[in-house]
Every structure is written in C-alpha cells, then in structure tokens.
Structure 1
Amino acid sequence: MKSIKMRAGFLTCLMLLGCSNEEAFAESTLTSKCSSYGEIKPNQNPSFQHMNCLLTNAALAAKIPPEVVKAVASRENGGWKQFDENGQPVISKDKGIGLMQITNKPGYDQEKLKYDINYNIQAGVEILSSMYQRTDLPKIKETGPEVIENWYFPVMAYNGTKPVNSPLYQSSGLKNTEAYQEKVFTFIEKDSYINNTKLGQFPFNIGDFEYDTNSSGNIVFRKMEYTLTDQMHTSAYQFQVGDKVLITEDAVKLRSQPSTSSAAKSLAKNTTLIIDGNFLYDQSSTSINQFVWYPVKTEDKKLAGFISSAYITKKLDVPPVKVMWGKTELKLGQIGKVTILSNTNLVKMESNGSLTTVRTLKKGEEYRVYNYNSNHGGLYGVGGGNYVQKSTKVKYETPSKSKLALLAQ
C-alpha cells in the first residue's frame, strides 16, 4: 500500500489509551470469533480458512463488505501471508508490512504490524474505512457502504489517488485495467463470485479527472457523484435466517457439507432457496475458497444442504402488477368505470338528499366507480362521497373477468 499522510486527529486518537483499548477489544473479538481454528502460533501463518475468518469478521465489524477487504488483501499479498517461509514478517520493497501491506503509518505500533496478524488486519481495515469517510472522493448517488461498487474510490485511495490509478488513460480515454482498484475489483469477481458476476461499471469520462501524468501529485476529481445503470451488488454476508435467495447460474451444486468435495445435487438457475442458518467457512481448512457456505432449504423443504455464497442473490419481493383498464388502473373494490363523453358535473349528495355541483368533469376523462345509487335517475359513486349522474354524457362499463382475474393474482 502506498504511503498516505495521516490526519493529525487520527494520530492523536491512536496515541490515546482509549483508542488502544478499542484496538485490543477489536483484536480479541476477531480472535474469539475464529477460536474454532485454534490459537495463532508465533511467526506462523494461520490456515487459509482461519485467515478467511479473520478478514471476514474484521470487515463486518467495520461495516465494509468482506468481499472488498479480502480482495484488497489478495492484491496486497496474494497468498494471504503475514510471514515468509523463514517465519519472518513479509515486508515489500516499499516497506509495506504484513498481510495488509501497511506502509509508512507511524501511528501504529510497527512491531505489532509485523508480528501480530490480528493487529495488521485491524490496521488495514481501519485505513480502508477512513478512505470511505473522505469527502474529496466521488461516491455513487443514493447508495451507502453496503454497496460493493461504492468502494471503488476508497480502494483506490488505499493505494493512492495518483495518476497511475486513474480509471481512464488521459491520452486515449480507454479504461485503465492496470489501476490498483481495477485489480482489486477483478479479484472480487474472480474469488468472491467465481467469475459468475460482473460488478457495475462507472460511466467515466476523461474530464472527470484532472492530473499531470509527469507529476506525483494526486488526481483532482471533477465529478463527485455517479449514477450507475448497471446492477449494483451488496455483500453476500448479510443474509439472515428466513431470507429468500435465488440461484444465479444453472447446474449450481447444493452440497451435503460446506465443502466443494462433498456430495451434491444440481439446482437450476432462479431456484428459490431459504437461508436456514449463519454462514460457514469451508470445511477444509486448507481450501483456498474465499466464499462462504450458507445452510439452505428449498421452498418445498424437499431438499436441504449448503450453497456457495458466490451463486446466490437476494430474492426481491415482486411489486404488485398494475392492471390497466383504459387510462386508469383497476383497483380492488372497484365495480366499474365511467368515461366522460361530454362535459358533465361531479356532484355531491347533501344530507337532505339534494345534489350540489363539486366541479366540471371534462370530455375523455375516466373515473373508477365503487358503488351505485339509484336515486336521481342513477348515481355512480366515484369515491370521496362524490357521484357522476347516469346520463348520455357518460359511458359506464364493468371490468371483464380476465381483468378481475389479473387483479386477484
């Protein structure tokens, strides 16, 4: 990770005892949530799934999609290693330390960054979270940190908002696939979604970014808010018991155990499943799968097992279908409609039974009818105590059986 100057307030906070206590609490929480894997031994890397657990829980505690944190760790340190084969801390040429490659951060304990895996992860997550809080970075309109795509610019800033990370090449306007954040998002697609999902794309233009390719200065962002037309994605780690999810691919395997080596049955795309418990990590501690497994059952409860988070998406409630009848929508409780053939009055019945005019209804307008009153030669009740008098100036119709059937669905 490239060096980024820390704010004075943040440095001050880290030096205070209260912040140290918070860090200690965070580290102990990570350890307790992953205690089933045993203690982390000095100068030894935990198993891949143990590391998966540590990264996932650190991300969730910071309200960052775990997919993002894991991809940053993969980009910084492909093997998720804190120590090399000799048991020494992994330190890069630019002095990046450990799993999260923390670089030039004097506010953190440098020895703990080297030898304490939990501390190193916590530092990386804190830095990434602080990048999201920056007000000089663009965001996606009307979305929050739960949306993976909204971490595009904070991920860039984790490495540095330098010309090398510009989303577009200034000279050609082509996408810069070598940019740090593009590499991270490719890791998300490859490892968290098994290349099954494409993340939403930003509608970038060259004019959105101002920088000098021959300078080490930061990019100046000229556009601070984007609207994405592609589907955006929330984390697959937020499903709760009882949630309904859909299979996103054909022939996805429903496993008997949380492992790709267990027996399986194939499920078709768009099969509805019900989440039946909290997610689990791969049963094999040496597995390099970054996704997690959810216990699920089919809606008819005939099948149950474990499904990879890479192949499911939240099933959204289908909004009621509008049943249009001419110019108006057919509503429950409606018995018919009147079409105004020539201007006529909307009337109201007074307590003594007389009619008073409310306003004039114009030719061509349509109104729902909810009841019929036989007084005054016939009155069509159009709601709110108002009526349209039966006459040659109006046409009354009742809905067809097919329309009523659609409304009842």
Structure 2
Amino acid sequence: MKKIVAVFLLFVGVLMVVPKQGGAEDSQELNFQEKKALIAEIAVAEGIPPEILIAMADEESDFTQFDETGNPYISDDGGIGIMQITLTDEDLAKYGYTQEEISWNIEDNIHAGALHLKSRWNNQDLPQINNMDPEILENWYFALMAYNGLSRVNDPTENPNAYQEKIYRVLRDNFLLSIEEFPPIELRYEEGSDIIYFPPGVDYEWDMANTYSRQILLETGQTVYTYNDDLDFSYIRDGVDGNRLNKTLPHNTRLEILEGPFAINDSFKHYVYYHVTDGNQTFYISSSNLVQEPAAFLPNVDQSILPDPKEPIARLHIKREGVQFLKKEEFGEYVPVDEREKDEFLRVYYTEGSYFNVGGEYYIKQDLNKVVPYIGRILIESETKMYAPDGSEYKSFGKGHALRVYSFDENNYHVGGGYYIKNTSNVKFYKGYVTLLKDTPLYSPDGNVFEEREQGIAYRVYDIEGDKILVGGGFYFKNNDLVEYNIH
C-alpha cells in the first residue's frame, strides 16, 4: 500500500490511481461509490470483511477525509480523516505511515485503520468467539471494541451506544443484514479505573454468530442462493442503478455470479450488487439477498394433499426467546397464542408459505435467527472430511459420529454454518428413530415376517414409505400403534 496503487473500480469501468505523496493537491474527495470500493479492496487484501471496514468509515467520519476547505478532516478529539486515526507517531510508524500521509492520502488513512483493526483482531488477550472465523461478521465484536478503546464508554452493559454496538447497528440498517443483539459479556475494572479488562480464559460460544460476509467471498462463477429475512422473495433489477424487474425470486433460487461486486454511490445504502444468472436470464441482485448455501427451508406442502399428516418431516429448534406460537384462524390470519421457550423442540409436519406447521392449526413463523429446522442426521460409517464454506477441508470424523443435517442436495449434506459433508458411501442419512411400544414383527424386504423384536428397543429410521418404516437393508416395521416414530 505504500506505493502507487491501481484500483480498478468495476462499477465505473475506469482505472483510478491514488497518488502516494501527500499535499493540498490531493485533497479532493472521492464520491461515496469510489470510497466504498477502495475500502472494500483494502479490507479484502487484509483479510477483513468489507462490511466491517465500510461500517467503521461510516460511523467514524461519515466517509469524510477532507473538510470543506480542502484540508484534512480532524475531529474535536484529534481523529484524522475517514478512519479517525488517533495513533501516535511511534504507533503509526509500526504500520509504515506518518501523520502527513494519513492526513493527505485517503488510501493511506484507510490502510492504517485496517492494520490497526487487524492488530486488535490478533490480540490474544481479547475473548475469542467460536472458532474466530474472520469471515463471520459477529466474530469482530471485541476487535472493534478494542479499536475504539477498552474504556467504560464501550461497556455495552452500561452504554447501549458503545462503539462496537454502533458498528453492528450500521450493518443491520445500512447493509440490511439480520444480525441479532449480542448476548451479555463478562468484563472487569480495576478499582478506581475506567479501563476494561477481561477475565482470563473467558471465551464465547455464540450460536447467533453466523453471519458470513456477503462481499468478501462471492466470486465470478460461484454458486449462491437467494434468501432474506424480511420477505418471502427477492427483488431483482436490470442494472446496478436500473429498474426493478417484475419478476421476483423465491427463497433458495440457485444463481451463478457473473460479475461484481458493484458499489452504490449512496451514503446510506452500503450493500453491493452482483450481476448473476439463474440459467435462463441475467439480472442484478443485491448482496443482502444472497447466501452461500441453501437456507434450511423445508418443502412447501399443499395441505389439501396432506390434510392430516401423521409423521413429522423435521424437528424445529427454538434458539431464542420471544418465538410466537401462532394459531391459524378461519380467514387465514395467524394469531399469537403464547411464546415458546428457548431450546424447546417442536415437530414440523409441513410448511405453508413462511410458516412451519407444528401440529393441527398451530404454526411457527420461519425466522432462521430464532428457529432452525433440521431434517435428520448423517451417520459416519468410515473416516469422512467436513468442508468449510470456502471448500477447504476443515476436519475429519471417524466412524460412529452423527451430525445434524439442516438441508441437502445431490452432492452434499449441509450441517450448519456453511459447513458440509459430501454425499458418499462413507455416510448414511437417517431421518429419526422408531421405538417399539410392544413386541413387534420386523419385516424383510419380501414382505414376510423376519422375526419378532422386543418392546423398548429403538431403531434408526432411514425412510418412510407409506405404512413402512424402513430401518436399513430393506427391512421395516409397520407404522401402527405398536411403534412410535420420532424425527431426529
């Protein structure tokens, strides 16, 4: 970054060269589109999600490098430029910069801010979140707190407007990302001090930390899927600044990235657009409508085809408080009856639009931040690799391990968080288990009784065909009052 850098701006199709030498002749502000593209390029180069660095520039300075007189923008607390750098000469020198460079050169200012954030990310004294995957936006929580300062003003238990909380507010409001509120954290103060320190060895396992960057990973040729939390479909356009098309796309529509990302020349809208194809036509879609794996939605089932379903097709995990238990009234209105408890599990019999039917006339609204359906498990029969969202090998599992499955396609079983297991002979998918309530005949594939099995034993269920509960090798129990089936 210390040399002249050529930044290709896809959205304007020109080559922008940022001069290295600082001075008044370099004090012309770039437009919002150019700034966001430059921030994104630097972020990707440093392994930071572009959303994080762009949100910081928004919160720090409203993307301002120079004031109305053309001089470097310096705030009342001495923060310089777009990233509001307040480092000493000595600290800046560690990153290879001087005060003059970050004052007069916007690229240097952004890069110094990125390096400072990265140093906080690498600070082993800060709590760790899950596996600290840098592509997950929530995992930057403590690095952002430390970037602004580990002081009482950034204690979220005392100040709801702590710096890191404001950054995630930008991600929710300006990137249209469904990031949940953060759980409580533990922090301490020395007596008489406002400096935060963290209890040693206290790290966090947060289920809600699962929002992957939608700008750092998407590349030409990559397969993506449509999904958003607010609507049952996604809008598409005929260009980055084009018109909205009449056609909409249902959730889990498979697309291929053709070009992008394309930034928007807007101070508020920070999501980007991609040029994509569904195999039939090409169009543009915003990053807020794209995910890297199919969402854990179950197939819509027409109630007239399945008016009184006997067996569940999935199990629903209530992850958060506040999930409403709904009753469908005569005219199709879903009316709250009560709320379900966190970590409760419900059987799902079919889906109806955006609602899970959990028995009779009762429903739970689909919201992947609060409820997660899973459709079965895979049993590892010989050593098998799990793959990360980027396709790299993550870890191996030996024989006997069982993993929950949230969705699958012909090639992979999706086991949560973008991770997957390949569909090979090394694994076997099963839906649930059947428990024998009384001594029950086991039938062979030819339909004859093979032998009597004892009451109380449970068997894995690999499929259900009519009144047959298949338990492997073509053998089955009849689905009657002698057995009880449960989805896994």
Give 1:191 deviation, angstroms: 1.3
Asked if residue 290 in structure 1 is aligned to residue 267 in structure 2, the reply is no
What is the deviation of 1:33?
Answer: 5.8
**Amino acid paired to 2:236:** L
Note the alpha carbon deviations across 1:79-120, whole angstroms, 9 max, x for none.
x11101110100111211111111033123111111011111
C-alpha distance in structure 2 between counterparts of 1:73 and 1:139, whole Å: 24
Cα gap change, 1:159/1:287 in structure 2, threshold over 3 Å: closer, same or farther? closer
- CA drift of 1:278 comes to 3.2
Q: Secondary structure at the match of 1:140?
A: coil
2:200 is the alignment partner of 1:191: no
Amino acid at match of 2:218: F
Equivalent residue number for residue 160 of structure 1: 149
Q: Are residues 161 and 325 of structure 1, via their aligned partners in 2, closer, same or farther at CA, if it must alter by over 3 Å?
A: closer
Partner Cα separation in structure 1 for residue 191 and residue 166 of structure 2: 20
Please give the alpha-carbon distance, in whole angstroms, between the structure 1 residues aligned to 2:271 and 2:457: 59
| Shift in Å, 1:303 | 3.7
Q: Distance in 1 between matches of 2:136 and 2:224?
A: 19
SS of 2:101 mapped into structure 1? helix
What corresponds to 1:177 in structure 2?
A: 160
Whether the aligned pair in 1 keeps the contact of 2:435 and 2:456 (CA below 8 Å) is no
1:135 aligns with 2:117: no
Aligned counterpart, 2:290: 312
The answer (yes or no) to whether the contact 1:100–1:120 under 8 Å persists in 2 is: yes
Query: Is the partner of 1:90 in helix, strand or coil?
Result: coil
**Offset from partner CA, 1:355-398 (integer Å, 9 cap, x none):** xxxxxxx9958699xxxxxxxxxxxxx99xxxxxxxxxxxx955
Q: Provide TM-score, normalisation by structure 2.
A: 0.57
Within the alignment, does 1:211 sit opposite 2:195 as a pair?
A: no
Higher relative contact order (CA 8 A, sep 6+): 1
Q: Deviations over 1:129-188 (max 9, x none)?
A: 11000011112122411110000000011100111111212xxxxxx3210100011011
- Choose between structure 1 and 2: higher helix proportion: 1
Unaligned runs of 5+ in 2: 19-24, 295-406, 414-422, 424-428, 437-443, 462-471, 480-488
Are 1:81 and 2:64 an aligned pair?
A: yes
Work out which of the residue numbers 239, 257, 260 in structure 1 matches 2:218: 239
Contact 2:129 2:139 in 1 (8 A): yes
In structure 2, how many angstroms separate the alpha carbons of the residues matched to 1:165 and 1:181?
7
Q: 1:28 matched to which residue of 2?
A: 5
Q: Which amino acid aligns with 2:137?
A: I
RMSD: 3.3
Residues 338/61 of structure 1: CA separation in 2 closer, same or farther (3 Å cut): farther
Question: Closer, same or farther in 2 for the Cα pair 1:341/1:215, shift >3 Å?
Answer: closer
SS in 1 for 2:183: coil
SS at match of 1:188: helix
Is the partner of 2:68 in helix, strand or coil?
coil
C-alpha deviations, 1:269-295, integer Å up to 9, x for none?
Answer: 41413123232324x646753211111
Shift in alpha-carbon separation, 1:247–1:341, aligned structure 2, 3 A: closer
Q: Percent identity between the aligned chains?
A: 26
Change (3 A) 1:398 1:189: closer
- Aligned residue pairs: how many? 312
Supply the distance in 2 between the matched residues of 1:365 and 1:232 (Cα, whole angstroms): 34
Which structure features the higher share of strand residues? 2
In the TM superposition, what is the alpha-carbon distance from 1:215 to its structure 2 partner? 2.5
Q: Distance in 1 between matches of 2:265 and 2:138?
A: 30
Does residue 71 of the first structure (1) align with residue 50 of the second (2)?
no
In structure 1, C-alpha distance between the alignment counterparts of 2:432 and 2:445, rounded to whole Å = 14
2:79 aligned with 1:96: yes
Give a deviation string over 1:199-248, Cα, whole Å, max 9, x none. Answer: 1443315xx11126953433334563111132610100112323131231
- For the Cα contact (< 8 Å) 1:340–1:366, is it kept in 2? no
**Which structure has the bigger radius of gyration?**
1
Normalising by structure 1, we get a TM-score of 0.67
